[in-house]
Each structure stands twice: as C-alpha cells, then as structure tokens.
Amino acid sequence: MASPTHRRPTTRVLLICGALAAVHLLIHFATAPLLTALAPLAPPMYALVAGVHSLLPFLARRLTDVPGTAVLTSAIAAVFIAVANTAGVIVIFPLVLAGAVIDLVVWRTRGTGARVRRRYLLAAVCAGTALFGVSIVVFSPEHLSPAILLGSFLGRIVGELLASELSGALASALHRAGVGRNRTEAPHNSPSS
C-alpha cells in the first residue's frame, strides 16, 4: 500500500482538479479586464489582485490532500486560459509555477491545524516571491523604481496569503458539505444514522 504522502490521484481527485481548473478559467475571465487595466497603471495593485489565480490551486491541494494536485490544477487551468487568452502560451509559466511552488512547500503536509496552516502560509510567501521574480522581467523601465518594486513584491505576498487563507475557509466549508473528503475517511466519532 502506498504511503499517504505518495498517493496517486484517483479519478475522483482528477475530476476535482479539472472542475477547479474550470472555475479558475471563469475567475480569469472575471478578473482579466481589471488586471489588464491595473498592470500599466498600478503594478502593486495588479500584484495583489493577481493572487486570485492561486486560490484554486491552494483549494485543490487542501480539498484532496494529495501531493501534486495544486500543480495539476494549475496546469489544466493554464491550458484553458492559454487557449482563451490573447497572450497565448506565455500565461502557462506563471500559473504552473505558482502551483508547483505550493506543492513543493506542502508536499508532505496533510490534514488541518496550526502547523498545516503555517505550512500553507509559507507556501503563499514562497509562491509570491517566485511570481514577483518572474514579473520583474515584464516590468517597463518606468516601473523599476524602488517604491513600485517594493509595493509589487508586497502585493504578491499579500495576494498569495489571502488566496491561501480563503482557500482554507472554502476547503473547510466544502469538507463540511462532504466535498473532497473520501467517504472511507469520514470521522470515526460522527453519530451513526
């Protein structure tokens, strides 16, 4: 039997990742006009709002408790978004990068609790840092001032932290509703019907 940290995604887990990737596409459509407007006018605000793109990868990892589901959800969403985006395949890299960083930091993390929450917050900081590093390449020369760079860095970190925290709240609500939890993993102390 495979150890819990080496579980392979089941069909059910793959379906959850695909469904969350589809929701990610809808979030992309909803936020694209705002992000397009913010990028040249207010890069720090863009960085903050762009954190929404990590919400579903964080949620996938929390819902399934299976390593690799954040990057899998990100990759599926990236393909959907690349097909529907004028920028094309260039959008794949930052989306997959965020999912990969999340999975690398929380790889062996399972369950809930303060220690798990801290690990997800660390993943958010790491993802924000990585995404900031990637975004510097596309900054225009007039946006390379220390204030804009610092604001953009902090915006990335705060945006990722918000995505992590919101995903935790959503995962808790969905688990209470029975979504994402394997029926064989139901709590042993629940009352019998």
Span 109-168, pLDDT tens digits: 777 788 999 999 999 999 999 999 999 888 888 888 999 999 999 999 999 999 999 999
Of 27-31, 44-48, 83-87, 152-156, give the lowest mean pLDDT range. 83-87
Give residue for tokens 């900081």: 125
What's the confidence (pLDDT) of residue 8? 72
Candidate ranges 15-19, 107-111, 184-188; pick with highest mean pLDDT = 15-19
Q: Residue 184: pLDDT band by 50, 70, 90 thresholds? A: very low
- Here the tokens at position 38 are 């913010």
pLDDT average, residue stretch 44-61 = 96
Rounded CA gap, 116 and 193, in Å? Answer: 31
> Can you give the pLDDT at residue 98?
96
Question: What does pLDDT average to over the chain?
Answer: 87
Percent of the chain with pLDDT over 70: 89
Continuous segment of H or E residues that includes residue 47 = helix 43-49
What is the pLDDT, as a whole number, of residue 7?
Answer: 63
- Joined tokens for residue 158: 């705060």
Q: Who wins on pLDDT, 20 or 9?
A: 20
**Residue 4 predicted with pLDDT over 50:** no
| First CA to last CA distance, the chain | 31
Question: Would you say how long the chain is, in residues?
Answer: 193
Two tokens at 66?
């299976």
Q: By the 8 A CB rule, do 63 and 179 touch?
A: yes
Predicted confidence at residue 179, as pLDDT, reads 77
Report d(CA 138, CA 156) in Å as an integer: 15
* Residue 1: per-residue pLDDT: 39
Sequence-distant (≥ 6) Cβ neighbours of residue 20 within 8 angstroms: 56, 57, 59, 60, 63, 73, 77
Whether the pLDDT of residue 5 is over 50: the answer is no
Asked if residue 180 lies in contact with residue 163, where contact means CB atoms within 8 angstroms, the answer is: no
